[in-house]
Structure 1
Amino acid sequence: MTTVVVIGDVGGCSAELARVLEPLIGVPDTVVVQVGDLVDRGPDTPGVLRIVEQRLAQGSPRWIQLLGNHEAPYVGGEPFWPEPLSASDGRLLERWWLTERLRVAAAVRTGAGEDFLITHAGLSPAVWRDLGGPVSAATAAELLNTRPEPLLWGCGGPLWVEPPELYGGWLAEWMPFSQIHGHSAIVSYRHESWMCEERIRQRSTVDWAARRTQTRVGGGRFIAVDPKHGRTGAVRWSPLVIEDARLLV
């Protein structure tokens, strides 16, 4: 069995990333899944990319890097952030994409047998149907990793969909597996307040210290792991740790 550590959006905050990684270095049977949005907003995007590049090269712990919407402009998506990366950092992301070090999705199974699809922003019912309605998290991840480009770059796709749309859509469907995502949240951690409609809030819980939310829908649940570091980094937060897990994809 494996310990899977899911790290939410980093957003250029290298010190915060280094802090949570330090106790994991050299720990056997550990896999890190980072959900994308390594870059932009924070003070040290180049430092973040150097940390991840080192981890990808050394392989301890094993590192799975997912694509976020802030990496997308450097691998085929449209530019949208007003502060572009340096040419060298942009080329690094492009190289990761071309060598398949950047992936779209992963899938894990907990020791209790719950399957999770992990993407940057989540898999909406519309995109799930466009994929053919996969009944397992592993199949959904495999299909997303074939890089179905019209689905990737669309505003409701797995890099861009927002939680109210994502959760609201699945309230009308039976979700065949649970999901873990970053990208956005249904709360303001800074103000410790909710930012969603009541029907979603009633199904949700929040860990203010870890900066994670959980929302239950029919068939499964969502765990949102974006800590909202902003430009300076969150004072307190922690990654999601799944003990006794099995990496499916």
Structure 2
Amino acid sequence: MSDPLPEPLYVPALCLVVLVGIAGSGKSAFAARHFRPAQVVSSDACRAMVADDERDQSATQAAFEVAHLVIRHRLARGLLTVVDATNVEPAARRPLLELAAEYDVPAVAVVLDLPEQLCVRRAGERASRPVAAGVVRRQYAQLRAGVPTLAGDGFAAVHVLRSAAEVDAATVATRRSAVDRRDEHGPFDVIGDVHGCREELEELLDRLGYVLHRDEAGRPVGARHPAGRRVVFVGDLIDRGPDPAGVLRLAMGMAATGDALAVAGNHEHKLVRALRGAGPGGRVKVGRNLARTLELLVAEPEGFLAEAFAFCARLAGHLVLDGGALVVAHAGLKEAYHGRDSGRVLAFALFGDTTGERDEYGLPVRLPWAEDYRGRAMVLYGHTPADEHEWVNNTLCLDTGCCFGGALTAVRYPERELVSVPARREYFPPVRPLRDPAWPRPQQEPSQREPRAS
């Protein structure tokens, strides 16, 4: 029986791959075997570009200036990029990690940690540019000191290959980010903030043409459209309304059968953090809304809370759909963040473009990002409730405050047709009135306006 093939080294489809290894470890051969030539930014090639000689060490600073410029432009365009250099010193890796953070892509280290003597021999036998044994040994000492700290340096993943056999057997595979669902095509029905309003959600799904499926107890556990349409929830399924558990049960059932997609809202994000106990941002303060939701989830049959946690924990911060023509994010998303996956992007998607200040109602002040939006993708979102919303530069907010006594609203994509159902009552008093004369609405050209929801 043959030995099983090793697991591929998975890297995100959009990321910065940083090769780390001393001279003679085979970095350039590894890059050439696993990546396209255009994806690889080589320090030796850049040195040759600026000095006509890849061995000219006096051109090293200029070579890395060129390399960093190329990396910057590739990441700005959303292209996977591989850095072929020794990168054994923290000072060499630091600007690469900063570039990855600037463009909101993960950095992945692939370390070729081969035996010192093997690399000394290989480097000395090079026909075109042999490297002295002392240089290789110095690089090896730097590598040994740096490998244990790589994960803490800020790399999203660190793959270490410790022998020539491991390097030869290695394969590399790309894995799409959770936000990249470009191969998911419509038609979609994008639904605004539900906030526990299960009855209104059932009514809205019925008006949209979905057939509800119920369990033995009569509870809705799924819904399917006869024409194959699918729902996309903009987040904030829970809290405030009367039945957050029922809304989760229905949304989870639809997601499990492929009839719905969903993004995380700030309320799901807080629920996950509360159930984990702690995490980025520290321990969660459980207010009355979240406390009530937790009580209702705990009261459900055994296993439901764990299923709800797993569902919410898997939700992406935003989704790029339909070949990039549609982006759904809870609080909206500017074009530079579409398809990117970082803490900064997640914060924008969950909370919007906040200033850190509070308005007269004690709510966060948010900048009107949609007024400056000129992106190709339609952006559909929620988070900021009002009695009605209008299209602004191919973006639309769908939160019409159902839990506050407003309505639950959906938009049919790509038709841009609005459908809404009124709330049965006010379940939770709004901090800011849904129709607030002091709250400025964006001004639009007549051609941008859309008809009111039905």
Q: TM-score range by the shorter chain?
A: 0.5 to 0.7
Task: Indicate conservation of the 8 Å contact 1:11/1:45, yes or no.
Answer: yes
The structure with the largest alpha-carbon Rg is 2
> Structure 1 residue aligned with 2:411, among 222, 240, 248?
240
- State whether structure 2 residue 255 is matched by structure 1 residue 65: no
Decide whether aligned partners of structure 1 residues 173 and 150 sit closer, same or farther in structure 2, where only a CA change above 3 A counts: closer
Decide whether aligned partners of structure 1 residues 179 and 12 sit closer, same or farther in structure 2, where only a CA change above 3 A counts: same
Matching residue of 1:227? 400
> Structure 1 residue aligned with 2:310, among 88, 92, 95?
95
Residue 120 of structure 1 deviates from its aligned partner by 0.3
> Structure 1 residue aligned with 2:228, among 23, 29, 32?
29
The TM-score with structure 2 as length reference comes to 0.37
In structure 2, stretches of 5+ residues that fail to align are 1-184, 212-223, 274-280, 299-303, 355-364, 417-454
Task: Indicate conservation of the 8 Å contact 1:162/1:184, yes or no.
Answer: no
Matching residue of 1:123? 333
- State whether structure 2 residue 354 is matched by structure 1 residue 159: no
Task: Indicate conservation of the 8 Å contact 2:252/2:311, yes or no.
Answer: no
2:379 is aligned with what amino acid? Answer: Q
Greater relative contact order (CA < 8 Å, ≥ 6 in sequence):
1
Decide whether aligned partners of structure 1 residues 162 and 18 sit closer, same or farther in structure 2, where only a CA change above 3 A counts: farther
Specify which structure has the higher proportion of helix. 2
- State whether structure 2 residue 179 is matched by structure 1 residue 179: no
Matching residue of 2:427? none
| Superimposed CA distance per residue, residues 85-113 of structure 1 (whole angstroms, 9 cap, x where no aligned partner) | 22646543321145x3x22222344xxx9
Alignment partners' CA distance in 1, 2:329 and 2:321: 11
Matching residue of 1:205? none
Matching residue of 2:288? 82
1:165 is aligned with what amino acid? Answer: R
| Superimposed CA distance per residue, residues 40-60 of structure 1 (whole angstroms, 9 cap, x where no aligned partner) | 11111111112112222333x
| CA RMSD, 1 decimal | 3.1
Residue 244 of structure 1 deviates from its aligned partner by 7.0
In structure 1, stretches of 5+ residues that fail to align are 135-139, 190-210
2:349 is aligned with what amino acid? Answer: P
Matching residue of 1:214? 391
Task: Indicate conservation of the 8 Å contact 1:35/1:118, yes or no.
Answer: yes
Q: Identical aligned pairs, as a percentage? A: 24
| Superimposed CA distance per residue, residues 28-80 of structure 1 (whole angstroms, 9 cap, x where no aligned partner) | 32111000000111111111112112222333xx2101100011112237446
Alignment partners' CA distance in 2, 1:180 and 1:118: 5
Residue 183 of structure 1 deviates from its aligned partner by 0.5
Residue 181 of structure 1 deviates from its aligned partner by 0.6
- State whether structure 2 residue 9 is matched by structure 1 residue 9: no
1:38 is aligned with what amino acid? Answer: L
> Structure 2 residue aligned with 1:149, among 323, 343, 347?
343
Q: What does 1:103-142 align with in structure 2 at a 5 Å threshold?
A: 103-109=316-322, 115-124=325-334, 133=336, 140-141=338-339
1:14 is aligned with what amino acid? Answer: R
Decide whether aligned partners of structure 1 residues 150 and 50 sit closer, same or farther in structure 2, where only a CA change above 3 A counts: same
Alignment partners' CA distance in 1, 2:286 and 2:327: 27
Task: Indicate conservation of the 8 Å contact 1:71/1:93, yes or no.
Answer: no
Alignment partners' CA distance in 1, 2:186 and 2:374: 29
Task: Indicate conservation of the 8 Å contact 2:269/2:312, yes or no.
Answer: no
Residue 242 of structure 1 deviates from its aligned partner by 1.3
Q: What does 1:194-213 align with in structure 2 at a 5 Å threshold?
A: 211-213=388-390
Alignment partners' CA distance in 2, 1:173 and 1:45: 33
Task: Indicate conservation of the 8 Å contact 1:70/1:81, yes or no.
Answer: no
Q: How many residues align?
A: 189
> Structure 2 residue aligned with 1:39, among 230, 238, 261?
238
Secondary structure at 1:43 match in 2: coil
Alignment partners' CA distance in 2, 1:64 and 1:72: 16
The TM-score with structure 1 as length reference comes to 0.64
